[in-house]
Structure 1
Amino acid sequence: IVHRLPSQSPLLFAAKKQKNLSFETIAQALGREEVAVAALFYGQAKASEEDVKNLAKILDLPEDKLMETEMTGWPDRGRQMEMPPKEPLVYRLFEIVQNYGYAYKAVMNEKFGDGIMSAITFSTKVEREDDEKGTWCKITLRGKWLPYSRF
């Protein structure tokens, strides 16, 4: 994946590691969700100028150096990953859609009608839950419902 990352990624990841910061900590400082911040690091989201200024401050990076990168440009989304994914956790997410995709589709169509869930007007959140049975990962996907138009 390293050879497919944009120029800002090594700078951001090195600074994050050096300062021992989590995506959650950075997200709180930016007023964003942690998955959205991670997407900025991987070049899968467009940063605002305010995001760049705040990231530079949080990570002790020269703002002008970050502004010279592709961070505020148009992201080339989805090209970093081979299909099927090789990384085990990413593959597991792929496998969830592979196994339950049509079940999700059927239930969504019953609840909302003929349409799709937006991945543009969208938010996602990762949460940790602990109970007597162990540690659980909870992923919430929230997308606007987009009904297909008739023509």
Structure 2
Amino acid sequence: MDPIMSKAAAAEQVVTARLRSGRTWQEIADAVGAPVVWTTAALLGQHPMRAEQAKEACALLGLGDDVAEALCVQPSRTRDDAVLTDPTIYRFTEALAVYGPALKELIHEEFGDGIMSAINFRVDVARRPHPDGDRVVVTFDGKFLDYRW
């Protein structure tokens, strides 16, 4: 019996097939019936997809059952320090380093002692025109979890 393809290998095939097919992440998300950010993260290996979602994505991209199978596996979510050197990802790290303490204070002031969930969570990306250059709007929408004793 052959082992299941790794999520990293499946992600490489997804990215290659998406680029060669000319498909957008949004088109794939529409096909699988899920939000675009979640779908993109799942196809890059960060979430398990339901079998029907994986099959639909792979059919759209011309990928095999081996890739679909890998997309359904529960991921091991770890931090890859090499990824943090990517300029776009680094800017998110930088923004949270600068604004994280202020956001924490404001969350505590508004909600009390607790945290924003990254599990019961949604993130969206949008473009907003601006005279100085278009703006990237990233919205984190997480459930507030209060600390309970």
Same fold (TM over 0.5): yes
Partner secondary structure for residue 6 of structure 1: helix
Distance 1:36 1:96 in 2: 22
Partner secondary structure for residue 145 of structure 2: strand
Matched ranges for 1:84-123 at <5 A: 85-123=84-122
Q: Which residue of 2 aligns with 1:56?
A: 58
Q: Which residue of 1 aligns with 2:42?
A: 40
* Aligned partner of 2:11 among 4, 9, 31: 9
TM-score (normalised: structure 1)? 0.88
**Structure 1 position 67, deviation (Å):** 3.6
Farther off after superposition, 27-36 or 139-148? 27-36
Q: Does 1:29 align with 2:28?
A: no
**Structure 1 position 66, deviation (Å):** 2.0
User: Which consecutive unaligned segments of at least 5 residues does structure 1 have?
Assistant: none
User: Which consecutive unaligned segments of at least 5 residues does structure 2 have?
Assistant: 1-5
Pair 145,83 (structure 1): closer, same or farther in 2 beyond 3 Å: farther
Pick the structure with more helix per residue: 2
What is the Cα-based RMSD across aligned positions, in Å?
Answer: 1.8
Aligned residues with identical type, % of pairs: 31
Asked if structure 1 preserves the Cα contact closer than 8 Å seen for 2:7 and 2:75, the reply is no
Asked if structure 2 preserves the Cα contact closer than 8 Å seen for 1:44 and 1:78, the reply is no
Q: Which amino acid aligns with 1:55?
A: A
Q: How many residues align?
A: 144
Matched ranges for 1:61-76 at <5 A: 61-62=63-64, 64-69=65-70, 71-76=71-76
Farther off after superposition, 138-147 or 15-24? 15-24
Farther off after superposition, 86-95 or 27-36? 27-36
**Structure 1 position 119, deviation (Å):** 0.2
TM-score (normalised: structure 2)? 0.89
Partner secondary structure for residue 128 of structure 1: strand
Q: Which amino acid aligns with 2:31?
A: A
Distance 1:15 1:105 in 2: 40
Pair 52,5 (structure 1): closer, same or farther in 2 beyond 3 Å: closer
